[in-house]
């Protein structure tokens, strides 16, 4: 009996150690397999990146070689053309030299055109940002009462006269000042922008007091809006032009009440900054 107990006491630690050792081994083996799989996945990703880099580099080299070949071809054609002209005595040497300079400047002209295109794209982006700022400032007004759009590179803000004036009047309403204040806030944040305030009417004849017709009414409404922008909201008057367009630029038919209501509007036109393009032209001359 004592011998069994002693044997059991001796063999038990061995069995426990063997069991623990087997578990550690299996855990290590599983970890090794997991790490091997992750390593293989990383190796695959690395190879994909290297392959993409090689493809991109090859494509870039191809485009560069094509561009160089085209440039050399143009130079060769230019020189051949000049030689032919000289041989035929069609032009003098000085004229040939002038033509050569013009041909040499083709690349510079192309760069100039690209600069102009870049400037136009920048202007279009600024216009879209301006439109988004205006819409954000004005908020949830009815689209039929105020409309903001970009057309051919110019920003237009059309405000229905029912928001600005009483019927047959050119006196600004309190509601109008609220709307114009929101527009003025955006315009004041763009101090280099100049704009035109246009008054538009429908075709119904108008005559009241010193105002003889729709021409007079449209001008008075434009100047009324201009005064609010200047006096109430501090816009520099040198940036503003006021104009009356009477009934002659309708946006809808005057045959219906809805059409006439759409035509009675005040339009704020953000003027293109042409001086910037002229300066760009002067730099390249």
Q: What is the predicted pLDDT for the residue at 200?
A: 95
Domain boundary among 104, 138, 161: 104
Residues 97 and 217 in one domain: no
Residue 284 inside a domain? The answer is no
Q: Which residue has the higher pLDDT, 249 or 61?
A: 249
Residue 75 inside a domain? The answer is yes
pTM: 0.54
Q: What is the predicted pLDDT for the residue at 36?
A: 80
Residue 32 inside a domain? The answer is yes
pLDDT surpassing 70 at residue 88: no
Q: Tens digits of per-residue pLDDT, 158-201? A: 999 888 998 788 999 888 888 899 889 888 888 888 999 999 99
Question: What is the extent of the structural domain holding 9?
Answer: 1-104
Residues 79 and 197 in one domain: no
Residues 161 and 97 in one domain: no
Q: Tens digits of per-residue pLDDT, 230-273? A: 999 999 999 999 999 999 999 999 999 999 999 999 999 987 66
Domain count, the chain: 2
Q: What is the predicted pLDDT for the residue at 96?
A: 62
Q: What is the mean pLDDT of the chain?
A: 76
Residue 113 inside a domain? The answer is no
Band of residue 224 on the pLDDT scale cut at 50, 70, 90: very high
Strand order in the sheet with 240-244: 146-151, 154-160, 265-270, 195-200, 240-244
């Amino acid at each position: 009996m004592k011998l069994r107990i002693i044997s059991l006491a001796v063999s038990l630690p061995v069995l426990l150690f063997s069991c623990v050792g087997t578990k550690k081994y299996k855990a290590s083996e599983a970890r090794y397999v997991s790490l091997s799989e992750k390593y293989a996945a990383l190796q695959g990703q690395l190879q994909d990146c290297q392959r993409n880099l090689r493809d991109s580099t090859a494509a870039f080299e191809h485009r560069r070689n094509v561009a160089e070949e085209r440039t050399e071809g143009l130079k060769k054609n230019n020189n051949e053309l000049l030689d032919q002209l000289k041989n035929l005595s069609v032009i003098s040497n000085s004229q040939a030299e002038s033509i050569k300079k013009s041909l040499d400047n083709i690349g510079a002209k192309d760069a100039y055109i690209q600069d102009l295109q870049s400037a136009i794209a920048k202007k279009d982006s600024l216009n879209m940002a301006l439109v988004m700022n205006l819409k954000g400032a004005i908020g949830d007004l009815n689209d039929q009462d105020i409309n903001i759009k970009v057309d051919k590179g110019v920003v237009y803000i059309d405000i229905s006269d029912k928001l600005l004036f009483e019927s047959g009047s050119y006196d600004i309403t309190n509601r109008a000042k609220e709307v114009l204040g929101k527009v003025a806030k955006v315009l004041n944040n763009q101090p280099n922008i100049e704009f035109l305030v246009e008054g538009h009417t429908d075709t119904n004849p108008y005559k009241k007091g010193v105002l003889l017709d729709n021409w007079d009414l449209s001008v008075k409404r434009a100047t009324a809006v201009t005064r609010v922008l200047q006096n109430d909201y501090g816009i520099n008057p040198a940036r503003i032009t006021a104009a009356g367009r009477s009934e002659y630029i309708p946006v809808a038919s005057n045959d219906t009440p809805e059409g006439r209501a759409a035509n009675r509007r005040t339009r704020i036109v953000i003027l293109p900054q042409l001086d910037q393009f002229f300066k760009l032209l002067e730099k390249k001359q």
